[in-house]
Structure 1
Amino acid sequence: MARRLGIPRLNLNGTGLDGDGLAVIPVEQVTGTMWLAARDTLARVADLGERHGVQFVLENLNLAVDRPGVPFARAQDCLALVASVDNPHLRMMLDIHHAQIGERNLIALCREALPWVGEIQVADMPGRCEPGTGEISYAAVARALAEMGYRGTIGLEAFASGDPTVAVEAFRNAFTVAG
């Protein structure tokens, strides 16, 4: 499907999500057996990506606000799984909005995860609107990513706080780093 649509990446989550973004089968505690099953499944997914020339990205979510019961939701969990598979056809979708809720210390997280990142998603917190509407210093995140050498995709996954054109311009301004 990715080839038909002309897109390089397909997004994955740690479990099936329903129409409201909640875990179809909520999990309170992830066991060692679940970790091994997830790693084996993701290795098979990476092999599928290799056969079809597509990259899969495992997205971190948050457990505290709007994704309770999702296994492997934390950025550190996604990073551990992706690193353990160690295949360029499986990378991490680092969602900064979710990481701010559950893990904070975003620049250190970016630095640690960067070798395994396939794409970065942004939205401010709280409110899930464009950069500049909440508590995240996206100018600092953008500068740090540029200094780290990140040249990959950064996607805006947010609601416009007002005029959508202004919201997109705020995103563009936040991630335009003077060289």
Structure 2
Amino acid sequence: MPGADRAHQHSAVVSVLSRAAKLMEGSEVTLLLENLNSRVNHIGTYLDATREGLDIVREVRSVHLRLLLDAYHALVMGEDLASEIGEDIDLVAHVQVADAPGRHEPGTGVLDWEAQLRILRNLGYTGYWGMEYLPQSDTITSLMMVEQIAARVENTQGHMG
């Protein structure tokens, strides 16, 4: 609804996702809620904060709803992943990454992906990492860059999923 305040939008999202999660009961389906950045790619979007996304997941209180953490969006918004997520890492079902600026493969921009992946591992994230970027080079070369970053994290912490 145009012009709706944040509290109304928040309430509407919780209501719709609560109903959707109820429909998933008895299944193995998990709905994923993703916050987007409102600074570069999705100006004017409502859900642009990781913390609010986690709060919505917590309010819905269903095993069928989790957060899809697009770390690119969170970092573009200037978020500190450790403080935003904290002990709610169990509410994160999947993590996507891309570098900034340009949303290219990690290692091509200003974000320290080795440090960010390490933060998420230290919080307890053990899932997979989704690559959602526009490669600056051919796909194999770009994936090798990501693999090198992941290997440095793995060598200091154990296996990356």
| TM-score tier (shorter) | 0.7 to 0.9
Contact 1:30 1:71 in 2 (8 A): no
In structure 1, the partner of 2:75 is 100
Q: How does 1:20-31 map onto structure 2 within 5 Å?
A: 30-31=5-6
Aligned letter for 1:117? V
Q: 1:75 aligns with which of 50, 59, 79?
A: 50
> Does structure 1 residue 45 correspond to structure 2 residue 20?
yes
Distance in 2, matches of 1:152 and 1:37, equals: 29
Distance in 1, matches of 2:91 and 2:139, equals: 31
Deviation at 1:167, TM superposition (A): 0.7
Aligned letter for 2:17? L
Contact 1:63 1:74 in 2 (8 A): no
Deviation at 1:92, TM superposition (A): 0.5
Q: 3-state SS of the aligned residue for 1:175?
A: helix
> Does structure 1 residue 153 correspond to structure 2 residue 142?
no
Q: In 2 relative to 1, CA 100–29 (structure 1 residues): closer, same or farther, beyond 3 Å?
A: farther
Structure 1 length normalisation: TM-score? Answer: 0.77
Provide structure 1 residue ranges, at least 5 long, that are not aligned to the other structure. 1-24
Contact 2:39 2:77 in 1 (8 A): yes
Distance in 1, matches of 2:5 and 2:57, equals: 16
Q: In 2 relative to 1, CA 60–31 (structure 1 residues): closer, same or farther, beyond 3 Å?
A: closer
Q: 3-state SS of the aligned residue for 1:50?
A: coil
Deviation at 1:175, TM superposition (A): 2.2
Q: In 2 relative to 1, CA 175–50 (structure 1 residues): closer, same or farther, beyond 3 Å?
A: farther
Structure 2 length normalisation: TM-score? Answer: 0.85
Q: 3-state SS of the aligned residue for 2:130?
A: strand
Distance in 1, matches of 2:52 and 2:94, equals: 16
Provide structure 2 residue ranges, at least 5 long, that are not aligned to the other structure. none
Deviation at 1:113, TM superposition (A): 4.1
Bigger share in helix: 2
Deviation at 1:141, TM superposition (A): 1.6
Aligned letter for 2:23? L
In structure 1, the partner of 2:106 is 131
Deviation at 1:170, TM superposition (A): 1.5
Number of residue equivalences: 154
- CA distances 1:4-27 after superposition (whole Å, capped 9, x unpaired): xxxxxxxxxxxxxxxxxxxxx7x5
Q: Provide the aligned C-alpha RMSD in A.
A: 1.9
Distance in 1, matches of 2:13 and 2:149, equals: 35
